[in-house]
């Protein structure tokens, strides 16, 4: 990838240059007040905060806006910034592709989205302000639009000083790198209330960026509560804003089976209701919507333990009508159905990985069911052996259909020697599992429940930020087996009405850990506070209801309401 | 308005026909479970609920879907339904206008919106199902697109039996009546998972409808928390779904002054931050966005008591720097600024009404300020007299600029004889104020804080539903002075991250009270439960995060999370 020769050496290299936290606590006479960080706005001459304090009004003149830098989340690998503003006229500004006969569909659609994101926050003045940026020209290394695990997401962004050029450049090897660059470009822009136009406040600006980990995931759970297709699409929109790239779709569980399976058409009788279902075409639409945002979708079948809803349509999958999970291990029909589901999934989900669950299996039901106990006796195996057999047989089916299987960590802890060597171990239950798994040569995904479970509302954002995938993994070969990590939005108490504010902003803290350099993030959450507040407000402006970061003087729990009146940038 | 001759007499007239509540409580062995109502889906042959009960799985076969009717919220005045389904093909279905040379802009944009609403919930099968509806033809009584208070919102909707016609008709006197009819039409549609297309399940269908009250409002407060323009637009989207028609925009208060006032350009220095502001063009865009949805925007200046933020830009508006509200009554500059604001507002807000606040005025500050106390002494008036003078002088300014003034009820209780006769009294504090006000010949808007304040989270939806604007008002002339009512979303603990789930679904309960006939709503909330649950899920599908209605076995507080896993239609 050619660097277009911006005179970077003449500018300040600011890896690690963004403001260290300048947290200070402001206490009124009454209740504790929110911690105030340095002011976050990228432009302006003044800032005033008027607070309500026990019925009396206290005016705090915070004074001159501090010269803070452009806020980008997650932090890019390298940023160089000048001091001159550039304006963008929404009526004339264009995105273009430089080196291809036609604009790839993925980019053409992204251009429309990012134009709207950049110019829709405030009414635009019709005249143009100068100096103006007229174009962002995208140069791609490849026209291939296939999205797969490990696709190159690197990019370089080069916004010149206006005396040099009124054109900016974005270079990427793939359309997916270009998407990441467009997101960063959009975060460079802000609204200037004097010129009434959009600006990039500090040019020249040069950014070089690429992700630390190839797997940066978010789990959603559509079994405990159905999420409308529209809701899943908004989750995908929001993921792109913090450069997450895998939607782990925990589609079915014991409570409901919302998806159509053409091979076994009665399965979705296990949905909560007639309306709370996804057709195969809905799933295809979700996968394509995700792809257009550079996001892979990993489907999950959580077998054999979390599967009671399967038997609504096919009761023979249940050991008995009173003991309905784990699925009947003694019946070939069980595996026929798993095969049918995975075969159908293969027509919808092109991702490298399929998740097969395997967690929280209570084999007591098998032991209490006479035909299964007989089956165990004939084979002279224990219920625990049967659990391993079940998981491995499901893995074989997934592999046959071209998937690499992912399993929750219990399978690793219980029978690691029987797992297929390509198995990806998915940590959730105990810290340190990934260190054990990679030592045995397995790949691993980190989702430590103590810090990366979004339904744990008391896991505050600093915990999400400080969780390190390389914790206790120092060997380079073992580090290479860490695919990345994933935050989990289990759905027991999350439906369409609160999923987004339960996910955000905390998921973004993990997203930075997974994207930005360890050199930057290891310094810890403190240096990121004001930039994180800024990103939360950016999400709010983009209609993503990210919850407050502070609640009074402490970090807020998940989906907290604001503590009291105040600025978005301080709450 | 001509009725197109549907054989209504041959069908069942179902005013009051919709199901009475069939609430039953299902208790598991463990924690209390959500109350289950009759199943709400408009189609299907089965319904199954699989619940999680303390680690064991309990499957409840609820059995045959009850034959419940199409669910419309708020309930129309008259509905006649047949039994035959009709299908709509998203690729070919069209909205048309019958009797005009061109489609009015308001309707052309509504056609695009409602096409998306109707067809975007699930992927559409490409072939057409039969019998099919090909068009909805709109006939308008007038091409006038001006939106004003009291505009006619009536409509008739006539979806024929397919043997009669494959065209449906919507008639309205105005484009705004047509908008209400389009909303109802959209609520008649649902997705058929067998044909994989949209259907209207019960035709022929004839609906005649008009609102009970001309003023059906929602207050939002952008001073305690700034709401991005995008957030206000989503509030407006959601209001249209329950046919609310006034956005009362409580723009400024003591905490912040977010809006640009060209006449006094330092006023918005009182914003929370550089970015948390609205330009005049933003406000114009909001007004136009609202108009396109048949919603008027009423601006509020809450003087003299809730105005401390004004003095950030102009400290001379404060009595002293330590005593900063009420605004200085002794200074002509105070009224020059009010005049400037209202004059600027007149270029943006064409609504009949402007709200001037007047509530919670503590005149102690005036009495403690020597130059104001001297001014009172010279005039030989009390601080209370000065409060009345202030309010009336502000009313004069509003009237001069063509507004009818609205004031919070304290002004009525404190000096009703001095209020301009056209004053609209806005109840909030005590029940019974409207009955007193209309008896004295004032118009009144009901917002009883005990039942219609959305920030009162313990005001459950049944309270919103049962609140009656005609309570203790029996005289017809006095009833005519009741303009309607308004639910209030005060912003102390509501920002972009939670405003929509605090408003919805409770605001919809008041919306039905204000739209539907008293004959229907006086029966009470019980008959509306399952239809209300259905409407909440409809909002969710349309990306409006309306909160659950039940929490366990009781009605949920405002913005409650789900109690546990379950169907949207039961929570």
* Residue A458's CATH number: 3.20.20.80
Contact B326, B358 (CB under 8 A): no
How many folded domains does chain A comprise? 3
Q: Do A123 and B279 touch (CB under 8 A)?
A: yes
Any domain includes B124: yes
Any domain includes B544: yes
Q: Which residues of A touch B541 (CB under 8 A)?
A: 228, 230, 496
Contact A153, A244 (CB under 8 A): no
From A6's Cα to the closest Cα of chain B, the distance in A is: 31
> By the CB < 8 Å criterion, does A228 face chain B?
yes
Of A223, A273, A495, which has the smallest distance from its Cβ to B39's Cβ? A273
Q: Which residues of B touch A254 (CB under 8 A)?
A: 50, 52, 57
> By the CB < 8 Å criterion, does B282 face chain A?
yes
Of A272, A309, A548, which has the smallest distance from its Cβ to B567's Cβ? A272
Locate B65 and state its tokens.
């879907």
> By the CB < 8 Å criterion, does A279 face chain B?
yes
pLDDT at B556: 97
pLDDT tier at B83, thresholds 50, 70, 90 = confident
Q: Do B121 and A547 touch (CB under 8 A)?
A: no
The 3-state DSSP composition of chain B as helix, strand, coil percent (nearest 5) reads 35, 20, 45
Calpha distance A192→A128 (Å, rounded): 12
Q: Which residues of B touch A229 (CB under 8 A)?
A: 121-122
* Closest residue in B to A281 (Cα–Cα): B123
Q: Do B273 and A46 touch (CB under 8 A)?
A: no
Q: Any catalytic annotation for residue B360?
A: yes
> Is B65's pLDDT higher than 50?
no
Q: Do B493 and A547 touch (CB under 8 A)?
A: no
If asked whether residues A367 and A478 sit together in one domain, one would say yes
Q: Do B566 and A225 touch (CB under 8 A)?
A: yes
If asked whether residues A373 and A263 sit together in one domain, one would say yes
pLDDT in tens, B396-406: 999 999 999 99
Any domain includes B469: yes
Q: Do A225 and B491 touch (CB under 8 A)?
A: no
> By the CB < 8 Å criterion, does B88 face chain A?
no
> By the CB < 8 Å criterion, does A9 face chain B?
no
Spatial CB neighbours of A312, under 8 Å, sequence gap ≥ 6:
A257, A266, A269, A270, B48, B50, B59
pLDDT at B175: 98
Calpha distance A193→B266 (Å, rounded): 13
A positions 525-544 inside 8 Å of B (CB): 537, 540-543
B positions 299-318 inside 8 Å of A (CB): 308-309, 312
Residues of chain A under the 70 pLDDT cut? 1-70, 128, 164
pLDDT tier at B100, thresholds 50, 70, 90 = confident
Any domain includes A330: yes
Contact A119, A90 (CB under 8 A): yes
Reported ipTM: the value is 0.88
Of A46, A311, A543, which has the smallest distance from its Cβ to B231's Cβ? A543
pLDDT tier at B569, thresholds 50, 70, 90 = very high
CB atoms within 10 A of CB B450: 13
pLDDT at B70: 64
Calpha distance B294→B287 (Å, rounded): 10
If asked whether residues B282 and B347 sit together in one domain, one would say yes
Q: A179 is in which domain, residue-wise? A: 69-209
Site of tokens 């005149």: B363
B positions 193-212 inside 8 Å of A (CB): 193, 196
* Closest residue in B to A569 (Cα–Cα): B273
Calpha distance B242→A36 (Å, rounded): 39
> By the CB < 8 Å criterion, does A53 face chain B?
no
If asked whether residues B473 and B570 sit together in one domain, one would say no
Of A558, A557, A564, the closest CA to residue A26 belongs to: A564
Q: Do B273 and A47 touch (CB under 8 A)?
A: yes
DSSP states of B22-67: --EE---SSS---EE-S---SS-S--EEEEEETTEEEEEE--SPP-
pLDDT at A70: 65
> Is B32's pLDDT higher than 80?
no
Q: Do B276 and A494 touch (CB under 8 A)?
A: no
Q: Which residues of A touch B57 (CB under 8 A)?
A: 254, 308, 324-325
Q: Do A537 and B271 touch (CB under 8 A)?
A: no
> By the CB < 8 Å criterion, does B29 face chain A?
no
If asked whether residues B494 and B532 sit together in one domain, one would say no
If asked whether residues B62 and B114 sit together in one domain, one would say no
Of A364, A310, A319, A359, the closest CA to residue A338 belongs to: A310
pLDDT tier at B410, thresholds 50, 70, 90 = very high
Mean pLDDT, rounded, of chain B: 88
Return the residue in B34, B48, B221, B535 with the most chain A beta carbons within 10 A, the one to mutate for interface testing.
B48
pLDDT at A69: 58
Spatial CB neighbours of A417, under 8 Å, sequence gap ≥ 6:
none
Any domain includes B7: no
DSSP-H helix ranges across B90-188 = 105-119, 175-188
If asked whether residues A261 and A205 sit together in one domain, one would say no
Among candidate residues B482, B503, B522, the one where a domain is terminated: B522
Contact B297, B290 (CB under 8 A): yes
* Closest residue in B to A58 (Cα–Cα): B322
Q: Do B120 and A230 touch (CB under 8 A)?
A: yes
Among candidate residues A482, A505, A522, the one where a domain is terminated: A522
Q: Do A565 and B537 touch (CB under 8 A)?
A: no
Of A221, A229, A223, the closest CA to residue A257 belongs to: A223
Q: How does DSSP classify residue A130?
A: S
**CATH number of the domain bearing residue A127:** 3.30.379.10
- Buried/exposed code over B349-376 (b: 16+ C-beta within 10 A; e: otherwise): bebbbbbbbbeebebebbbebeebeebb
If asked whether residues B469 and B569 sit together in one domain, one would say no
Spatial CB neighbours of B333, under 8 Å, sequence gap ≥ 6:
B314, B316, B317
pLDDT in tens, B207-220: 999 999 999 999 99
Any domain includes A548: yes
B positions 171-190 inside 8 Å of A (CB): 190
Contact A174, A141 (CB under 8 A): yes
* Closest residue in A to B61 (Cα–Cα): A312
Any domain includes B186: yes
Burial of B64 (0-12, 13-18, 19+ CB in 10 A): exposed
If asked whether residues B263 and B130 sit together in one domain, one would say no
Q: Do A275 and B123 touch (CB under 8 A)?
A: no
- Sign of the alpha-carbon torsion through A529, A533, A538, A544: positive
Higher pLDDT, B447 or B9: B447
Q: Do B547 and A497 touch (CB under 8 A)?
A: yes
pLDDT at A2: 37
Q: Which residues of B touch A48 (CB under 8 A)?
A: 269-272, 312
Q: How many residue pairs from chains A and B have C-beta atoms closer than 8 A? A: 262
Spatial CB neighbours of A556, under 8 Å, sequence gap ≥ 6:
A460, A547, A548, A549, A550, A563
If asked whether residues B131 and B222 sit together in one domain, one would say no
Among candidate residues A153, A174, A209, the one where a domain is terminated: A209
> By the CB < 8 Å criterion, does A276 face chain B?
yes
Site of tokens 């009883």: B448
B positions 322-351 inside 8 Å of A (CB): 324-325
> By the CB < 8 Å criterion, does A507 face chain B?
no
> By the CB < 8 Å criterion, does B50 face chain A?
yes
Higher pLDDT, B84 or B180: B180
pLDDT at B69: 58
**Kind and range of the H or E element at A177?**
helix A175-188
If asked whether residues B379 and B474 sit together in one domain, one would say yes
pLDDT tier at B161, thresholds 50, 70, 90 = confident
Of A46, A224, A561, which has the smallest distance from its Cβ to B498's Cβ? A561
Any domain includes A8: no
Q: Which residues of B touch A40 (CB under 8 A)?
A: 273
Task: Choose the catalytic residue: B360, B466, B468, B496.
Answer: B360
Q: Do B51 and A255 touch (CB under 8 A)?
A: yes
pLDDT at A131: 85
Contact A87, A197 (CB under 8 A): yes
Task: Choose the catalytic residue: A96, A145, A276, A360.
Answer: A360
If asked whether residues A339 and A388 sit together in one domain, one would say yes
Q: Do A543 and B59 touch (CB under 8 A)?
A: no
């Amino acid at each position: 990838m050619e660097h277009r020769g911006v005179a970077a050496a003449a500018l300040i290299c600011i890896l690690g240059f963004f403001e260290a936290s300048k947290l200070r606590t402001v206490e009124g006479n009454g209740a504790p007040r929110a911690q105030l960080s340095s002011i976050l706005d990228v432009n302006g001459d003044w800032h005033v905060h008027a607070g309500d304090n026990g019925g009396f009004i206290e005016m705090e003149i915070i004074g001159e806006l501090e010269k803070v830098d452009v806020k980008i989340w997650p932090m890019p690998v390298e940023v160089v910034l000048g001091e001159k503003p550039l304006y963008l006229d929404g009526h004339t500004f264009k995105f273009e592709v430089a080196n291809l006969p036609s604009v790839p569909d993925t980019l053409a659609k992204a251009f429309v989205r990012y134009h709207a994101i950049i110019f829709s926050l405030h009414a635009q003045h019709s005249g143009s302000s100068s100096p103006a940026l007229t174009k962002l020209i995208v140069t791609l290394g490849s026209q291939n639009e296939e999205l797969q695990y490990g696709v190159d997401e690197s990019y370089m962004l080069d916004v010149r000083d206006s005396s040099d050029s009124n054109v900016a450049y974005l270079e990427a090897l793939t359309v997916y790198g270009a998407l990441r660059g467009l997101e960063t470009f959009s975060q460079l822009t802000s609204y200037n209330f004097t010129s009434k136009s959009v600006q990039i406040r500090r040019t020249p600006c040069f950014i070089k960026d690429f992700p630390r980990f190839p797997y940066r995931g978010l789990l959603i759970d559509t079994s405990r509560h159905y999420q409308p297709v529209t809701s899943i699409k908004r989750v995908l929109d929001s993921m792109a804003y913090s450069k997450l790239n895998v939607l782990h779709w925990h589609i079915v569980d014991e409570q409901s089976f919302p998806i159509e399976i053409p091979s076994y058409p009665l399965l979705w009788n296990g949905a909560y209701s007639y309306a709370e279902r996804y057709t195969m075409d809905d799933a295809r639409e979700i996968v394509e919507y995700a792809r257009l945002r550079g996001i892979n979708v990993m489907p999950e079948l959580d077998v054999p333990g979390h599967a009671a809803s399967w038997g609504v349509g096919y009761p023979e999958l249940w050991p008995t009508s009173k003991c309905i999970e784990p699925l009947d291990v003694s019946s070939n029909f069980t595996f026929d159905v798993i095969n049918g589901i995975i075969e159908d999934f293969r027509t919808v989900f092109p991702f490298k990985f399929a998740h097969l669950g395997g967690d929280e299996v209570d084999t007591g039901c098998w032991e209490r069911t006479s035909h299964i106990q007989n089956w165990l006796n004939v084979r002279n195996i224990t219920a625990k052996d049967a659990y391993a057999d079940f998981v491995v047989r499901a893995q074989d089916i997934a592999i046959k259909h071209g998937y690499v299987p992912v399993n929750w960590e219990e399978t690793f802890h219980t029978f690691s020697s029987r797992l297929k060597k390509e198995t990806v171990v998915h940590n959730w239950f105990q810290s340190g599992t990934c260190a054990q798994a990679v030592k045995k040569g397995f790949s691993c995904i980190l989702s430590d429940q103590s810090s990366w479970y979004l339904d744990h509302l008391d896991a505050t954002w600093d915990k999400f930020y400080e969780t390190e995938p390389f914790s206790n993994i120092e060997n380079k070969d073992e580090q290479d087996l860490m695919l990345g990590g994933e935050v989990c939005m289990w759905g027991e108490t999350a439906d369409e009405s609160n999923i987004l504010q339960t996910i955000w902003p905390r998921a973004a803290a993990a997203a930075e850990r997974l994207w930005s350099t360890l050199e930057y993030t290891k310094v810890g959450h403190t240096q990121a506070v004001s930039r994180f507040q800024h990103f939360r407000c950016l999400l709010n402006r983009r209609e993503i209801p990210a919850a407050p970061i502070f609640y009074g003087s402490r970090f807020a729990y998940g989906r907290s309401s604001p503590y009291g009146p105040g600025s978005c940038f301080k709450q």
